[in-house]
Copies of this chain bind each other. A is one copy, B any other.
């Protein structure tokens, strides 16, 4: 008898009919003899609607209050799911984040799980119940309700799987798994049957929306195999785990893209120590997430410093950077919000030359100009014109023969 943790996303429980259909899937797992813990997100657009409600009251909702407000979304879906299972004759019980022992710090709206105290979960499992846990939420030592921020419910599921020593975590969502590229862009894109944690981490960070990097990281840390599959059919999905075979590792695994890219270049920065810190420390303090940073070679003791941010943060980033640029004697600040990025990812690129060259030439052949390049050990990212991103994804999928992947 295995213990498994399943997670269902918001679109999987949007409405009574879908909740009943999810209940049937959970019942199947129970019928196979497994102990089942289920983590569930808020139904459909609930979270957005609650946020809208808050903004009808105030333009700056307090973080603590907003977290308690948003936490109700998952309470609603988890109680309804428990009711649906009970209606089918299964013993089921819903638990709030607090009841499930999800203990977090007090960083409202982006709380971190400090520990899971799964006493109640174990007790209910021992009584033969299916346990339905409200995702995305936890509780502080002061009994204040927190939410975990983006990727929260996935993180709840993986954290629970780790603390319950579950056999695995199954994340059911509205896609069928991890693909060699977005199938809406590349019809010949292939579903990957398995992928390693590291590759998945890069994929998640660089545009694949299947899972939040945070949950993948936690899975890697505790070595929890995570199955990503559709909640709407029984196709096999993709298994994210640590034991991916050597042969599979030896390739580019997937092409990802992201259209939410803006670029700021500080032109003519005096080339002396401390200048970069002077720019990026204030950005960090202003909570602006700087992505790629590139500094060009110095000419005449002056250099150009370019970095990218999410589009929604460009205006604020410019506000922070312009006065600093003036004070350090830079020539000017220029910005461009109409950019995108395209990445190839795969552990096979590690210590193997040729991938970058093949990527650049594939883009060049399509007349796509590369504005910035950034790399990790297992990823190469090019920042290009937003209008060229889709062509680039298709060209790279073809260049690396990903239609043959599996």
Cβ contact within 8 Å between B86 and A65 = yes
- Chain A, interface residues (CB within 8 Å), range: 35 or more
Q: What secondary structure prevails in chain A residues at the interface with B? A: helix
Cβ contact within 8 Å between A82 and B96 = no
Give which listed residue, B19, B60, B62, B75, contacts A57 with CB less than 8 A. Answer: B19
Using known A-B contacts A86-B62, A143-B99, determine if residue A53 contacts B75 with beta carbons closer than 8 Å. Answer: no
Using known A-B contacts A58-B83, A60-B87, A87-B60, determine if residue A50 contacts B76 with beta carbons closer than 8 Å. Answer: yes
Using known A-B contacts A50-B76, A99-B144, determine if residue A57 contacts B69 with beta carbons closer than 8 Å. Answer: no
Cβ contact within 8 Å between A57 and B83 = yes
Distance to closest chain B CB from A246 (angstroms): 48
Q: How far is the CA of A145 from the CA of B145 in the complex (A)?
A: 14
Confirm or deny: A35 has a beta carbon within 8 angstroms of a beta carbon on chain B.
Answer: no
Cβ contact within 8 Å between B75 and A69 = yes
Mark each residue of chain A from 119 to 138: 1 if its CB lies under 8 Å from any CB of chain B, else 0.
01000000000000000000
Give which listed residue, B20, B80, B98, contacts A54 with CB less than 8 A. Answer: B80
Confirm or deny: A399 has a beta carbon within 8 angstroms of a beta carbon on chain B.
Answer: no
Confirm or deny: A40 has a beta carbon within 8 angstroms of a beta carbon on chain B.
Answer: no
Q: How far is the CA of A76 from the CA of B50 in the complex (A)?
A: 8
Which B residues are in CB contact (< 8 Å) with A16? 53, 56-57
Given A53-B80, A57-B87, A120-B143, 12 further pairs, Cβ under 8 A = A16-B53, A20-B57, A58-B83, A61-B83, A62-B82, A62-B86, A65-B86, A65-B93, A66-B79, A66-B83, A68-B75, A72-B76
A sample of 30 inter-chain contacts (CB < 8 A) reads A16-B53, A53-B76, A54-B79, A54-B83, A57-B80, A57-B83, A57-B84, A57-B87, A58-B83, A58-B84, A59-B87, A60-B87, A62-B83, A64-B93, A65-B79, A65-B80, A65-B83, A66-B79, A66-B83, A68-B75, A68-B79, A68-B94, A69-B75, A69-B79, A71-B75, A72-B76, A98-B98, A98-B143, A99-B143, A99-B144
